[in-house]
């Protein structure tokens, strides 16, 4: 028979395990959380055994497909919602560069700073601000639409979180499942800023509000 022991005291977390004093206890809410086989927390996806592994061929193929898509869009000046890739990037290229540099800073320096991840949170706020400012700047263009804001979110998701999962996969030996979960989780935030708030900016502009 399974028995449950009740332990009173302050719960402390050490390496994803929970302790009260020196006694290991079940972490609050752990029954509803999902993890990879290596113990990494999953925020969006459930535990999927077929994806919870490394597969360099699959990951590299997806990465090369994305890069090739950017090359084709640029070379043939293919329009998405009436705008070429350059039409999205040129007005906000410096914000994109800052976002990319922020991602590199997080992994090169931020993770090494022992401040309870405060530096990481601040750097995250920085790229969030870059996405928001980009959406605001582009919303002031007279022919920028809701569809354009949606693609802006897709574009920033691929740039920011695509870069993050590439670093995690190749340099931190993460699995396909964890990489996909991180990409989807981060992209939800980007889409909320670019697509939702950006579309709000477009709506207000069309209604004649000046901001």
Residues 191 and 151 in one domain: yes
- Model confidence pLDDT, tens digit, residues 121-169: 999 999 999 999 999 999 999 899 999 999 999 999 999 999 999 999 9
Provide the token pair at 44. 């969006």
Residues 26 and 65 in one domain: no
Residues 187, 161 contacting (CB under 8 angstroms): yes
Name the band, by pLDDT with cuts 50, 70 and 90, for residue 209.
confident
Q: Report yes or no on 41 lying in a domain.
A: no
- Model confidence pLDDT, tens digit, residues 69-106: 999 999 999 999 999 999 999 999 999 999 999 999 99
| Number of Cα atoms under 13 Å in the Cβ half of residue 159 | 25
Count of domains observed in the chain? 2
- Model confidence pLDDT, tens digit, residues 27-47: 665 456 788 988 899 999 999
- Is residue 49's pLDDT more than 80? yes
Residue (of 127, 131, 92) closest to 107 by Cα position: 127
Residues 183 and 81 in one domain: yes
Q: Report yes or no on 49 lying in a domain.
A: no
What would the DSSP string read from start to end of 101-142? HHHHHHHHTGGG--STTHHHHHHHHHHHHHHHHHHHHHHTST
- Is residue 6's pLDDT more than 70? no
Domain that holds residue 20: 1-32
β pairing state of 23-25 and 34-35: unpaired
- Model confidence pLDDT, tens digit, residues 20-29: 777 676 666 5
């Amino acid at each position: 028979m399974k028995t449950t022991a009740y332990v009173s005291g302050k719960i402390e977390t050490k390496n994803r395990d929970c302790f009260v004093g020196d006694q290991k206890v079940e972490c609050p809410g752990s029954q509803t959380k999902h993890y990879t086989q290596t113990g990494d927390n999953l925020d969006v996806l459930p535990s999927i055994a077929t994806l919870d592994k490394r597969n360099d061929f699959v990951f590299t193929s997806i990465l090369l497909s994305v890069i090739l898509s950017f090359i084709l869009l640029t070379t043939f000046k293919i329009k998405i919602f009436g705008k070429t890739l350059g039409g999205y990037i040129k007005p906000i290229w410096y914000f994109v560069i800052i976002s990319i540099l922020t991602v590199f800073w997080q992994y090169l320096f931020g993770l090494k700073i022992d401040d309870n991840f405060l530096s990481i949170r601040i750097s995250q706020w920085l790229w969030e601000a870059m996405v928001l400012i980009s959406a605001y700047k582009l919303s002031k263009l007279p022919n920028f639409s809701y569809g354009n804001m949606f693609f802006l979110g897709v574009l920033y998701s691929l740039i920011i979180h695509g870069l993050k999962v590439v670093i995690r996969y190749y340099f931190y030996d993460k699995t396909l499942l964890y990489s996909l979960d991180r990409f989807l989780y981060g992209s939800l935030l980007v889409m909320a800023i670019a697509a939702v708030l950006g579309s709000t900016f477009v709506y207000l502009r069309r209604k004649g509000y000046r901001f």
